[in-house]
Amino acid sequence: MKANYRKLLLQGNKWIDGSDEYGLILTDDLDSLLSCSILKQVKGWDVEQVMIFKYDKNQNFDAHGITKNATHEAIGVDLALTNGKCFDNHLTQFKWNGTSNPESINLNRIAGISRDKYYRKYNLSTVLLLWSLYDLPKEKLSDELMMLLIAIDGSFQGFYTEEKYVWIHKHWLVDVLDLPEFYECEKRHTKDEFKEIQKKYNIHKGYGKITLKNGYLSTDIDIERVNDVLGWDTDIVVELPTDGFKKKAIYRDCMRSIDDSTRSISKFSDDVFSYALTNKYTVNYSERIEEKCDIQKQVA
């Protein structure tokens, strides 16, 4: 990562380079899972909690689980926490003069990108953020590995968008993350080839989710193939946690329309665990609920 951007991320967040121990909060896709694996390799931090969005699609519930051995302060991974430490790639600032979580390691935050500049937001994955932040290998990587890393969370889409917006993608990938090799890889391949990579590793649309049942995680991601390609050039190993998770909290998964009058997430609730502006006119958030529901039996 270019030094000036890394310096800005470090302001008030020296913990990202420190030696303190933390636990990780895993979410429900490969962007979070591989990001957790990177943090395990680089920092030695383990997954101690899990946040599964739309756990019960019929009732719009999000499930937050915790292992019985969790002992550390938690860091959200690909999770835009309202408060607390996290790594994420989301947009959370509503107004140009608004605020967002100061403990979020998020390039949109330090660049002052808010809803009114939505089209300029960081449009890459949390994996690429961490790959750059912790100076993981970028030279002489196989095209297969670079394509997989770019395919996660659809990061390649910005390269194949309207020509007038391609500079935004290049800015983040090359000028900020300092990953020109990845940009050259995109130039060598077509959009369809990246879609085939997504299918190969089972992370294409409708697939690639991590699920929670009776307290244990499972996934349809082809983790074996992911580890095969990672093993060519890195020591990173992706592993789904085998520990059981007990219920920590249940959240209602909410989606609300927003406009120029919306100044902060508190307009909708004072008890929001995480949220993200998923487009210029919509915010999605997880609001804590206390009432009993059947989902609690499944997380216990």
What is the tens place of the pLDDT at every residue in 161-212?
999 999 999 999 999 999 999 999 999 999 999 999 999 999 999 999 999 9
Per-residue pLDDT of 4-39, as tens digits, reads 999 999 999 999 999 999 999 999 999 999 999 999
Please report the pLDDT score of residue 214 as a whole number: 92
Please report the pLDDT score of residue 59 as a whole number: 77
Identify whether 176 is part of a domain. Answer: no
Give the closest residue to 168 by CA, choosing from 190, 189, 183.
Answer: 183
Residue 134 pLDDT greater than 60, yes or no: yes
In single-letter form, the type of residue at position 284 comes to N
Identify whether 275 is part of a domain. Answer: yes
Please report the pLDDT score of residue 58 as a whole number: 76
> Where does the pLDDT of residue 293 fall: very low under 50, low under 70, confident under 90, or very high at 90 and above?
very low
Identify whether 147 is part of a domain. Answer: no
Please report the pLDDT score of residue 299 as a whole number: 52
Give the closest residue to 75 by CA, choosing from 124, 135, 32.
Answer: 32
Please report the pLDDT score of residue 292 as a whole number: 43
CB 128 within 8 A of CB 144: no
Identify whether 146 is part of a domain. Answer: no
pLDDT, mean over the chain: 95
Least confident of 115-124, 278-287, 288-297: 288-297
What is the extent of the structural domain holding 232?
3-137+207-299
- Reduced 3-state DSSP string for the chain: CCHHHHHHHHCCCHHHHCCCCCEEEECCEHHHHHHHHHHHHHHCCEEEEEEEEEEECCCCEEEEEECCCCCCCEEEECCCECCCCEECCCCCCCCCCCCCCCCEECHHHHHCCCHHHHHHCCCCCHHHHHHHHCCCCCCCCCHHHHHHHHHHHHHHHHHHCCHHHHHHHHHHHHHHCCCHHHHHHHHHCCHHHHHHHHHHCCCCCCCCEEEEECCEEEECCCHHHHHHHHHHHCCCCCCCCCCCCEEEEEEEEEEEECCCCCCCHHHCCCCEEEEEEEECCEEEEEEECCCCCCHHHHHC
Identify whether 153 is part of a domain. Answer: no
Maximum distance among all alpha carbons in the chain?
54
CB 131 within 8 A of CB 42: no
CB atoms within 10 A of CB 173: 25
pTM for this prediction = 0.95
Identify whether 34 is part of a domain. Answer: yes
Mean pLDDT of 229-238: 97
User: In sequence order, what are the beta bridge partners of 257?
Assistant: 282
Identify whether 179 is part of a domain. Answer: no
Least confident of 54-58, 66-70, 241-245, 249-253: 54-58
Identify whether 37 is part of a domain. Answer: yes
Please report the pLDDT score of residue 56 as a whole number: 76
Tally of domains within the chain: 1
Please report the pLDDT score of residue 294 as a whole number: 44
Please report the pLDDT score of residue 226 as a whole number: 98
